[in-house]
């Protein structure tokens, strides 16, 4: 297998000042999940949305809540169920007898960080209520268009689709998520430490905001300043071309998926203190960005296996 070309350049490395204390605080609550936390932050800086898929009890909700607290964001949670309606997410107009007028009551989507918990337990109609907001940062309700706050970030969790009572997310919904990650089981030392220590949900109450919204918005702008050379862009194109022409996948990555991969790679470089995009940055985020957008021919592959197959098949030169 081709060795990953990692995005390391000690001479120019300068991690944004607020990120080390942010990750220190998050790592103290969510043990042994440093990579998942950095991928989540990468997704947020890239102005994307994050899908976390795994079995119950592995810290998906704690990750979302702790990220919101540490970033000082307004945070709302919606528990998706089979009887949830679109109006429960977007909001509804209520008639006020005193004024003889209808007043719009905003739904939970009007927030900075929305946790859509167990999103695949809701019907496709309710799932689709998030589509416009995730793509356009606005929602259309009862003929009116209403802007969502900035920043706006959706973290959705879902259980494996093999479980009873779940509705697989359609491709149009999956494509709205910049990245999909798995939490995975903690390693031995982390799990024993969890047994010994304080309840993680209690620890959330003590979390303090490390960033404010203006700092976060400024970092999101800096993602666009990460330089991508023609050589790196050519490598990105060859990845897209491989997924389309190799016959390994039913359909290749679209141009929109390529732009998503580029932005996620730039954000990963920024999180790791780089001002130039390297092939290794693309490789690091590739499984999380491409894994839910590609369907292998003739068998299942995990997102990590999909990423490794592409990396070993496409030369960086």
Q: What is the pLDDT of residues 102-146, one digit of tens each?
A: 788 899 999 999 999 989 888 888 888 888 899 899 998 877 889
The pLDDT of residue 163 is 58
Confidence of residue 162 (pLDDT cuts 50, 70, 90): low
CB 67 within 8 A of CB 40: yes
Averaged pLDDT, 70-80: 91
Q: Which CATH class is domain 19-210?
A: alpha beta
Q: d(Cα 267, Cα 42) in Å, to the nearest integer?
A: 5
Would the pLDDT of 206 be above 70?
yes
Per CATH, the homologous superfamily of domain 1-16+222-317 is Magnesium chelatase subunit I, C-Terminal domain (1.10.8.80)
Round to whole Å and give the CA distance between 138 and 23.
30
CATH 3.40.50.300-classified regions of the chain? 19-210
Residues 6+ apart with CB under 8 A from 255: 240
The predicted model gives 168-191 an average pLDDT of 84
Write down the pLDDT at residue 240: 98
State the pLDDT confidence band at 164, using cuts at 50, 70 and 90.
low
pLDDT at 315: 94
Q: What is the pLDDT of residues 9-60, one digit of tens each?
A: 443 456 677 788 888 888 888 888 889 999 999 999 999 999 998 776 667 8
Q: What is the pLDDT of the chain when averaged over all its residues?
A: 86
Apex CA 179: angle with CA 245 and CA 166, to 5°?
100
Q: What is the pLDDT of residue 220?
A: 94
Q: What is the pLDDT of residue 13?
A: 58
Per-residue pLDDT averaged across 180-203, rounded?
79
47-61, 69-83, 250-264, range with the lowest pLDDT: 47-61
């Amino acid at each position: 297998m081709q060795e990953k070309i990692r995005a390391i350049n000690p001479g120019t490395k300068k991690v944004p000042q607020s990120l080390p204390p942010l990750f220190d605080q998050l790592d103290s609550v969510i043990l042994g999940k440093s990579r998942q936390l950095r991928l989540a932050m990468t997704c947020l800086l890239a102005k994307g949305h994050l899908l976390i898929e795994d079995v119950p009890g592995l810290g998906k909700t704690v990750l979302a809540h702790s990220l919101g607290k540490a970033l000082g964001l307004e945070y709302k949670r919606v528990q998706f169920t089979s009887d949830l309606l679109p109006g429960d997410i977007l909001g509804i107009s209520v008639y006020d007898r005193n004024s003889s007028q209808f007043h719009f009551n905003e739904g939970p989507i009007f927030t900075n960080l929305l946790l859509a918990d167990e999103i695949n337990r809701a019907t496709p109609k309710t799932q689709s209520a998030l589509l416009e907001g995730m793509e356009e940062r606005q929602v259309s309700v009862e003929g009116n268009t209403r802007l969502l706050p900035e920043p706006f970030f959706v973290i959705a969790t879902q259980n494996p689709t093999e479980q009873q009572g779940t509705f697989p997310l359609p491709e149009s919904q999956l494509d709205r998520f910049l990245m999909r990650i798995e939490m995975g089981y903690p390693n031995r030392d982390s799990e024993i430490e969890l047994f010994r220590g304080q309840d993680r949900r209690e620890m959330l109450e003590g979390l303090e905001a490390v960033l404010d919204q203006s700092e976060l918005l400024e970092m999101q702008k800096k993602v666009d300043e990460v330089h991508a050379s023609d050589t790196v862009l050519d490598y990105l194109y060859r990845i897209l071309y491989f997924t389309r022409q190799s016959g390994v996948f039913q359909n290749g990555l679209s141009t929109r998926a390529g732009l998503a991969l580029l932005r996620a790679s730039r954000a990963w470089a920024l999180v790791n203190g780089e001002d130039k995009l390297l092939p290794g940055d693309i490789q690091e985020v590739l499984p999380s960005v491409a894994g839910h957008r590609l369907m292998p021919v003739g068998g299942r592959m995990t997102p990590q296996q999909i990423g490794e197959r592409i990396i070993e098949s496409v030369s960086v030169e």
